[in-house]
Structure formats: C-alpha cells, structure tokens
Amino acid sequence: MTTTSEAVRTWANWTEPEWVDVDGVRVGYRRKGSGPVLLYLHGAGLTRQWLPLYEELARSFDVVVPEHPGFGDTALPSHIRTFDDLVLHYDALVRDLGLDGEIHLVGHSMGGWLAADLAVTYPTRFATLTLMAPMGLRAPHSTPADPFRWSPEQADHHVFSGVAEKYLDFLVQEGGVEDYIHEYGESIPFARLTWNPRYDVRLEHRLARVQAPTRVIHFADDNFIPRELSARYAELVPGAGLVVLDGAGGEPASHVSIVQQPAAIAALIAEHAASPGR
C-alpha cells in the first residue's frame, strides 16, 4: 500500500526502489553491492527502507532485497494466497532479474519460512541458506506469541524486547495515522499467509530435501520465535548448524536484532557463505 509520493519521502533509511514486473505484479526491490548474489527475504515489517544490515552485506555481496507482494510498495494481487504462491512468485522474480549462478539465500522471520520453502522446492538452486528466527514450524513445548493480538505499540515492544524507543528511525516513516494505515495494509498479506495455521506441518518432512548448506541464527532474547523452533529447523535440515546470538551493548538480542547488531549478523552470514559447512 503506497501512502505517499516517493518524491517527498524523507524518512531515515529511505532509498528509491527499482521496479520489475513479475508475472503482472509490479515489484519494488533494492539492490546494491558486488560479488555473489545474496537474495534477502524480509519479515513482516521494516519495509520501504535500506537497512544498515543490507549495507553491511553489500560489502561482500550483490544484495537484492525485494518487497513481498502486499508489503512495502508492492501491491498484493489476488492470486497470492499461500506460501506456495510466493515460491512461484520468487521463482519468476529470480528469472526476471537474471539472478544466474550461485545465490546465497537469507530469510528473516516470515521471510525465513519463505526461504525454507524455496530451498525445499529448488534444492540445487542456492549456494547457501541462512534462516534468522524463522517462522513456519511447530514448537510444541513452547507457548507461541500471537502477533495478531498485539496493538502496534505492543508489537514494537515485543519484537524489540522492550527497547523499541531506541530505534524509532526504523519505525516512524510518515508518522501518525499514515504509518498505522501502512502497517494495517501489511497485516493483510501477513494474515493471509500465516493466520491459520501458524505453521506448515508439511515442512517437518520436506526440509529433508534441502541441499544448500544451512545456518540457523536464533536471537537469544527473542520474544516472538522460541529457541525450540529455531533448533527444530537446525535438526530437520540436513547438516544445518544453529548459532545463538546474544545481546550486546547492554541490550537484549530481540527478534529484530537485524537492526540492533547489523555488523555481527552480516559477519555470521558472510562467514557461512565463505565456509558453508562450518
């Protein structure tokens, strides 16, 4: 949902997107850097901006960050209703952007679920796979958080593990009601994809198909994704390793540690890409 003209956007971390038509869907994406391609699949927020994490990754990679259908400035078409639809959408996007050769695939949260589905469906396409606090599996021994019961203020508090006020540059764009409208717009595809069920029971079996060397990164103080869920991914993906990132600088390692510790996370991703198997 676009709520303002790109020409007058002045908020922190805003950069002009590029555009590509993917099977009739006009997709906004941002791209920077050189080296092997890194395709980054974002979670259910922090869109319409170039994050410091992307800048750190662009030191080592040709970083491509598309906005999912219904997120950022990419429209939500009626035919995107499931993760299977998103997998086909991203297969077409890779084709239309000409992302040939090795691709390092990285996904955060909902984007981690999607990245896992892509690696299952196309097991030989990706050079490495990095899943950060991924959704998509059951965690039967943990009490799951329910983001659909949170107000916007509660969501910020929970996903930042209580330190959201330090990161308003990432949360406030146009301000006031316009930001609420945008967040509501993004909640529609998020609900369409994850409302019921909140996981995919098929993944527990399908993850055995993944051939890309895989690293799962869990954030130690994540109030959304329990450690059990990240550990389950690491258990089910053949040869996967689990890394737990602790907090730093007196702050917890929240679900969005991607904005708290961009250099440390970029280093973990680059290390995995350089020595996949470690």
Quick one: pLDDT at residue 3? Answer: 44
Run of H or E including 157: helix 152-159
Residue listed under structure tokens 């949360």 = 171
User: Pick from 40, 22, 61: which is nearest to 114 by CA?
Assistant: 40
User: Pick from 93, 268, 35: which is nearest to 276 by CA?
Assistant: 268
Question: DSSP secondary structure string, 9-34?
Answer: --STT--PPEEEEETTEEEEEEEEE-
Which pTM was predicted?
0.95
- Residue 274: both structure tokens together: 């350089």
Under DSSP, is residue 235 helix (H, G, I), strand (E, B) or coil?
helix
Phi, psi of 26 (to 5 degrees): -85, 110
The span from the first CA to the last CA of the chain, in angstroms, equals: 41
Quick one: pLDDT at residue 277? Answer: 64
- For the stretch 15-53, pLDDT in tens is 999 999 999 999 999 999 999 999 999 999 999 999 999
pLDDT band at 71 (very low <50, low <70, confident <90, very high): very high
Looking at residue 199, the DSSP 8-state letter turns out to be: B
- For the stretch 84-118, pLDDT in tens is 999 999 999 999 999 988 899 999 999 999 999 99
Cβ atoms < 10 Å from Cβ of 180: 13
Rounded-to-10 torsion of CA 106, 112, 115, 121? 150
Run of H or E including 38: strand 37-41
Q: What is the mean pLDDT of residues 222-245?
A: 97
Are the beta carbons of 111 and 43 closer than 8 angstroms? yes
Instruction: Give the strand pairing for 103-108 and 62-66.
Output: unpaired
Q: What is the mean pLDDT of residues 181-189?
A: 95
- CB under 8 Å to 143, separation ≥6 — which residues? 226
Phi, psi of 21 (to 5 degrees): -90, 120
User: Pick from 242, 44, 244, 39: which is nearest to 136 by CA?
Assistant: 44
